[in-house]
Amino acid sequence: MADSESLDTTSVQDQQEDPLADLTDEQLRQLVDESISGNAILENETLMFEKFLKRVEPNMMVSASAAPTPSVSVQDTRIMRKRSKSKAGSVDRHLKLTAEQKCDIAQREIEELREEIEKLREDSEKVLDTYKAIMEEADLRLSEIKKASYEFDRDIVKGSVNHRTGKVIAEKVVRYFEDKVRQRDTLIEKLRLKNSTLKVQKKKLQLQLKQKEEMGEVLHEVDFQQLKIENSQYLEKIDERNQDLLRLKLMAGNTLQVLNTYKKKLHTLTMESDRLATEISSRNELLSRIDTETEQVEVERAKAEKLNKRLRQQLEDYKVPEVVEYVQEKADLYELNKTVRSWERKVEIAEMALNTHRKTWYQLKLASQHNNPWVMQSVKMS
């Protein structure tokens, strides 16, 4: 009875101390949703923290997982609930991580994930390389099989058939396989020699590597990390230079376009200038010619004016002759014309006689040249 009374009193006290009793169903639902989302966030943080602890201190996680969990009764849970309400602030203060610690853990987890992703990428690349090598080997084998099948069909099935009996000649088949075996042996010998040379090279490289290790010239992981960092920096610089180069190329292209435009304009203007210079020179020549002609015209005009004055003066001083004088002058002119025509006729006759005498003289000279060259020489000298 005492126990039941104590339980009833504790339940009443719990109802009085419980702040959720006055909330509605909607508020309780919202509170539950918020608690679920908060629990999911805390669960993710807890999982990340457990991974971090497993990686940093694996022994502590093993001991924590191996520790027994004590059994708790209902009354103890209620008592612990009461104590937890009073000590919740101090426990949260001691158990929760700070923002810097969370950021540090998240950063380390991100780095671990990147390393895992890089490792998986390398493994996948190795697997892909293996599969590619297998595929290439299969392709080579398939091509060799196709080639061997084609050669067998060409040399044996079609080439070694006896036309009289229609059967395959056994000697040709044996010779074909002997040649194939001999080729295979030759290939094996070549590969063996190549393998031996590669082994010798491998031994030399191992010896050089050992010598470098003894001399301390081998690069360690830290050196590789440093080289990776420097490589990334140089790659960034190369990207920047490439961007600058592209920008300069674009500027050069635009400048070239503008230059071509101005070149076209300059060519057009040069042609126009040449045309105008030619036209100006032609106009100048025309102007000089016009000036010369003007001077000549002025001179001729002066002469014409002088002649005109003289003729006018003559016209003013002119006196008309008598009719008898005119008739006498006309008759004299007729006689003079008649005399001129007769003399022209006489000149024509004399020219004709002269031409005849010249022809005769030329013929005589040719005849004398044929008969007496000394005469020709004397004629030349004369």
pLDDT tens per residue, range 368-382: 877 755 544 554 554
In a shared domain, residues 349 and 291: no
CA distances from 294 to 151, 298, 307, 309 (A): 104, 6, 19, 22
Of the chain, the end-to-end C-alpha distance in Å amounts to 190
Q: Is 99 part of a structural domain of the chain?
A: no
pTM (2 d.p.): 0.34
Residue 69's pLDDT is 44
Q: Which of 172, 170, 166 is nearest to 151 (CA)?
A: 172
Q: Where are the alpha helices (DSSP H) in 166-321?
A: 170-215, 221-317
CA angle 207, 212, 217 (to 5 degrees): 165
Question: Per the domain annotation, does 376 fall within a domain?
Answer: yes
Amino acid occupying residue 88: A
The pLDDT value recorded for residue 219 is 58
- Name the token pair of 208: 């050089």
Residue 119: its H or E element? helix 99-152
Q: What is the pLDDT of residues 82-103, one digit of tens each?
A: 444 444 444 444 466 677 877 8
Q: Does residue 315 lie within any of the structural domains?
A: yes
Cα dist. 103→33, 42, 115, 253 in Å? 26, 15, 18, 49
The one-letter code for the residue type at 23 is L
Q: How many other C-beta atoms lie within 10 A of the C-beta of residue 215? A: 8
Enumerate residue ranges in the chain where pLDDT < 70. 1-21, 57-97, 216-223, 318, 320-321, 372-382
Q: Which residues contact 375 (CB under 8 A, 6 or more apart)?
A: 368, 369
Claim to verify: residue 249 and residue 306 sit in the same structural domain: yes
Residue range of the domain that includes 352: 323-381
For residue 262, being part of any structural domain is answered with: yes
Could you tell me if residue 180 is inside a domain?
Answer: yes
Q: How many domains does the chain have?
A: 3
The type of residue at 138 is: A
In a domain, 336, yes or no: yes
- Give yes or no: residues 204 and 259 share one domain: no
Q: Say yes or no: 374 and 336 in one domain.
A: yes
Contact 53, 61 (CB under 8 A): yes
Tell me if 90 sits within 8 A of 83, measured CB to CB. no
Domain identity same for 336 and 376? yes
* Structural domain contains residue 257: yes
pLDDT of res. 269: 93
Per-residue pLDDT, 225: 77
One domain for residues 374 and 356:
yes
243 and 299 inside one domain: yes
Provide the pLDDT for residue 266.
93
The answer to whether position 199 is within a domain reads yes
